[in-house]
Amino acid sequence: MPSFPLSRRTFLQSISAAAAAPLVPRFAWADNLTFAQDFLWGVAGSAGETESRANRGRSNWDVFIDNVGGSKDGTTNVRNTEFETRYLDEFKLLQAAGVKAFRFSFAWPRIQPETAGAPNARGMDHYDRMIDAMLEHGLEPIPTLFHWDMPLWAGDFLDRDVSRKMADYAEIMARLVGDRANTWLLFNEPGVIPIFGYGQGVFAPGYRSRRYMGAALHHVNLAHGRALAAIRANTHSGTRISSAFNIMPFEAPSGTAEDRQAASLVDALWNDAVPRPAYGLGYPELVQPLVEPYIQNGDMEAIAVKPDFFGLNFYSRSFVKADPESPLGITLVEPPAELARTEELPYDPDTYTKVLLKAHQDYGAPDIIATEFGFPVAEAAPKDGWVEDPLRIQYMQGYMRAAHAAYQQGVKLKGMIYWSSTDNWEWVLGLQKRFGLIHIDQPSLTRIPKRSLEYFGKCIRLNGVA
């Protein structure tokens, strides 16, 4: 029974528990691949990839994708999956499968569409209702404050002052949903922003400059620190806050000194240049010269906020060689032939175990939530209300086993979140890469469950790897 007096969160959860009870049979598997009782089982999505452009301000990604003439398949983010009006269809399927948590992001251009200052009432109301709906469907809301889509008026990360704007926005959102969200992610993959957006020019805002990459990196870190402080100051003491750090080891298969050196720099930039300063460990040595010109007094202290857990996104390793022409100094090479491939990246479970163990060692044995793992794979067309996707199930099982191996070796793994809930608009790759546990029919946008959703539900009931 819920305790009294009832908070809005407890009340909504109690309704959902009653509704879901008959759908969640108790399984007694005699399998030792199980996790601790309070393990968080979730799925994820983001506003920039699922919400349409309706009723919000123009974003950096709108401008970028329009300017480059659309994604690889010609699509843009005008419609996406219209998640903002269709989320109930999705929540019902997730609840029926037994999913426990939903990671999503706020669209900043919906909250402050045209300018700084007072939030837009319609945007606030949208997230208010959406979060209530999650709780009513038994889904623990896990907001991401910033998953790359930024209102145009806010400028970009070349401007130091963006951290102040970000902190104001963080405070607004913390006040709105702090009573219902216990676990927060500030940035999705903060390291990707300076590298892809300011160095390589392949993501918004599309700059291609090593100097810009250094400036953006430091200002991302500053914004990260200030936003975390703003959320901490405006939520209850039990709130846990971190970011979803994308960990992807870089290797140079050629083994030459030049290639290895180039791989080490990008490895430090990608994997360490945000979490290390956030944990008070400073910039990696190789990265220091890039950020040095932008560091002011007090910055490193403001950045060192010590997240409450480590959010870890993992897909695979990356294989590179030196390329003096590229601002990042590398170019991608083919992965070793023995690694199986998803439609996008290698399937790399052993590396998953290793990166979890490494984060455990590097950051003082923190609680870790696997904030993303997922696979775009070839799958059958929907038939009789389902999509058959056995390869995804096989890969999911492999990564969950790999994560469990790390857990057995002492990693404090507290949850696993699959990317993504539905197929969605995969940024510059468009709609062709289908990561979802739920199929999105085009053009109707009807949600159709995949067998992988059923499988994930089985794991959740087992509280382990089925």
Question: Contact letters (x/-) for ligand IFM, 178-197, by CB under 6 A?
Answer: ----------xx--------
Residues numbered 309-338 forming contacts with ligand IFM, rule: CB under 6 A? 313
Q: How many residues bind ligand IFM (CB under 6 A)?
A: 9
Token pair, residue 345, equals 């990246």
What's the CA angle centered on 461, arms 101 and 137, to 5 degrees? Answer: 35
Of 119 and 199, nearer to ligand IFM (C-beta) is 199
| CA–CA dist 66, 50 (Å, integer) | 17
Q: What is the greatest pairwise CA distance in the chain?
A: 66
Contact 245, 311 (CB under 8 A): yes
Of 51 and 189, nearer to ligand IFM (C-beta) is 189
What residues contact 5, with CB distance under 8 A and at least 6 apart?
none
Find the shortest distance in angstroms from Cβ 106 to ligand IFM: 14
How far apart, in Å, are the Cα atoms of 167 and each of 245, 313, 359, 466?
19, 24, 27, 42
Peptide bond between residue 205 and the one before it cis (omega within 30 degrees of 0)? yes
Of 140 and 372, nearer to ligand IFM (C-beta) is 372
Strand, helix or coil for residue 446: coil
Find the shortest distance in angstroms from Cβ 132 to ligand IFM: 25
Of 281 and 429, nearer to ligand IFM (C-beta) is 429
Residues numbered 352-391 forming contacts with ligand IFM, rule: CB under 6 A? 372
Token pair, residue 2, equals 């819920």
Element (H, E) at 263: helix 257-267
Of 76 and 313, nearer to ligand IFM (C-beta) is 313
Q: Which of 426, 447, 453, 456 binds ligand IFM (CB under 6 A)?
A: 426
Of 295 and 340, nearer to ligand IFM (C-beta) is 340
215-247: b or e for each residue (b if 16 or more CB lie within 10 Å)? bbbbbbbbbbbbbbbbbbebbeeebbbbbbbbb
Question: Contact letters (x/-) for ligand IFM, 45-74, by CB under 6 A?
Answer: -x--x-------------------------
Find the shortest distance in angstroms from Cβ 193 to ligand IFM: 11
Sheet of strand 330-332, all strands in order from the earlier edge strand to the far edge: 250-251, 318-322, 330-332
Find the shortest distance in angstroms from Cβ 372 to ligand IFM: 5
Find the shortest distance in angstroms from Cβ 160 to ligand IFM: 25
Find the shortest distance in angstroms from Cβ 316 to ligand IFM: 11
Find the shortest distance in angstroms from Cβ 373 to ligand IFM: 10
Contact 278, 304 (CB under 8 A): yes
Find the shortest distance in angstroms from Cβ 375 to ligand IFM: 10
Of 49 and 156, nearer to ligand IFM (C-beta) is 49
Of 188 and 318, nearer to ligand IFM (C-beta) is 188
Of 46 and 81, nearer to ligand IFM (C-beta) is 46
| Of 406, 466, 449, 353, nearest in space to 97 by CA | 449
Question: Contact letters (x/-) for ligand IFM, 430-449, by CB under 6 A?
Answer: -----x--------------
Contact 372, 313 (CB under 8 A): yes
Find the shortest distance in angstroms from Cβ 344 to ligand IFM: 7
Token pair, residue 180, equals 């219902």
Which residues sit at the interface with ligand IFM, rule CB under 6 A?
46, 49, 188-189, 313, 372, 419, 426, 435
